[in-house]
Amino acid sequence: MLRKIANPARLLTFQRTMASTASTGPLVRTELDSQTGYATVILNRAPVNSLSLEFMAEIIKTVDELERSKIRGMILTSPSSKVFCAGLDVLEMVNPSEDRLRSVWRNLQDTWAKLYGTSFPTVALINGHAPAGGCLLALTCEYRIMCSNFSIGLNETQLGLAVPPWLQKTMRNTVGSREAEIACIKGTMFSSEEALKIGLVDELAADKGEAMHKACNYLDTFKNMSPYARSATKLLLRNKKIEDMKRAREDDIDRVVKNVMNSDFQAGLAAYLQSLKDRKK
C-alpha cells in the first residue's frame, strides 16, 4: 500500500512500507506532485541499485499502485550521483539455487513488462551509469533523458549472458535493427553522447536539475490530450510484444538457467567480479 507521509505545499511524498535493506529507507520511493499528477519514482537500493529479486518485486508493486492512483506521468530515476542502475544483482547469479534463479528471471521479465506496459507516460531520467538491466529499465520508458559523462548499454555478452529476445526487440525498436544487432552482440557500452547519436536516449542534460526540467516538458506535451487515446495507442503499440514475451517466458527462463548454471559461466562471472574489485585498487 502507498502511504502518504508528508504534504509540504504541493509535493506529496509517498513511501512504500517494505523490508529494510542495507541502504537507508525504502527500496523504492515515490514523490507525487499533486498539481501536475507526475510521480517521480526513485530507485533506492544502495550502493548501485542492482536488481535483486525483492527490489524488482517492489518496483512492480510501485507501478501497480501508480496505475491505481491514476497518475499523469512517471519519471524514473536514482538518488545516486553516479549510477542509475547497475543491472541485475550479480550476486543473484553466483551459484544460485535453480528455484531462486527462476524467480529472479521471472521478476526481471515482469519488471520489464510492467514498466513497458504502463498506461501513463514514462520518462527515464538517467542520472548515472546504466549497464545491462539498468539499460533495460531505461528502455521500458517512452522517453529517455541522460546526464552527460555516463555510460549505457546492454553489456550482457561481455559477462557471458545472452540477451533475451524480448529485450533485443525493445532495443531494435529504439535504435533500429542494425545498431541493435551490433550493440547486443558486442555488448557495447555507449557514452551519453554516443547514446544520443544512435537514438538510445532522446536528450542529454548537463545535470539532474536540467534533466528533470526536460522530463516534465515531455510529460507536459500530453497535458491537454485525452489520457484514454494516449494510453490506448501506446498499449496497441506495445501489448503484442508483452504477450509475445509471456508466451515464450518458460523457454526464456530455461535458457537462462542453462546459461547461468554452466560452470564456464560461473568461472567467467568470478573473474568479472574480481575485475570490478580490481578497478578500485
Ligand X SMILES: CCCC/C=C/CC(=O)SCCNC(=O)CCNC(=O)[C@H](O)C(C)(C)COP(=O)(O)OP(=O)(O)OC[C@H]1O[C@@H](n2cnc3c(N)ncnc32)[C@H](O)[C@@H]1OP(=O)(O)O
The answer to whether residue 160 is catalytic is no
Distances (CA, A) of 224 to 142, 212, 217, 230: 18, 20, 13, 11
Told to check if 133 binds ligand X by CB under 6 A, we report yes
Q: Which of 7, 12, 1, 141 is nearest to 73 (CA)?
A: 141
Told to check if 216 binds ligand X by CB under 6 A, we report no
Question: Of 63-71, 132-140, 198-206, 210-218, which part binds ligand X (CB under 6 A)?
Answer: 132-140
Told to check if 132 binds ligand X by CB under 6 A, we report yes
Of 128, 133, 134, 160, the active-site residue reads: 133
The answer to whether residue 88 is catalytic is yes
The answer to whether residue 239 is catalytic is no
Residue 128, CB-side half-sphere exposure with 13 Å CA sphere: 20
The nearer residue to ligand X, 75 or 83, going by C-beta atoms, is 83
Told to check if 47 binds ligand X by CB under 6 A, we report yes
Told to check if 186 binds ligand X by CB under 6 A, we report no
Nearest approach in angstroms of CB 91 to ligand X is 5
Told to check if 164 binds ligand X by CB under 6 A, we report yes
Within 10 A of 17 (CB to CB), how many other CB atoms are there? 8
Residue 7, CB-side half-sphere exposure with 13 Å CA sphere: 4
Of 44, 49, 127, 155, the active-site residue reads: 155
Nearest approach in angstroms of CB 47 to ligand X is 5
Q: What is the DSSP string of 73-130?
A: EEEEE-S-SSBS---B-GGGGSS--HHHHHHHHHHHHHHHHHHHT-SS-EEEEE-SBE
Distances (CA, A) of 240 to 57, 117, 246, 270, 281: 23, 10, 10, 38, 47
Nearest approach in angstroms of CB 84 to ligand X is 9
Which residues are known to be catalytic? Answer: 88, 133, 155-156
Point out which residues bind ligand X (CB under 6 A): 47-48, 50, 82-83, 86-91, 129, 131-133, 136, 154-156, 159, 161, 163-164, 167, 276-277, 280
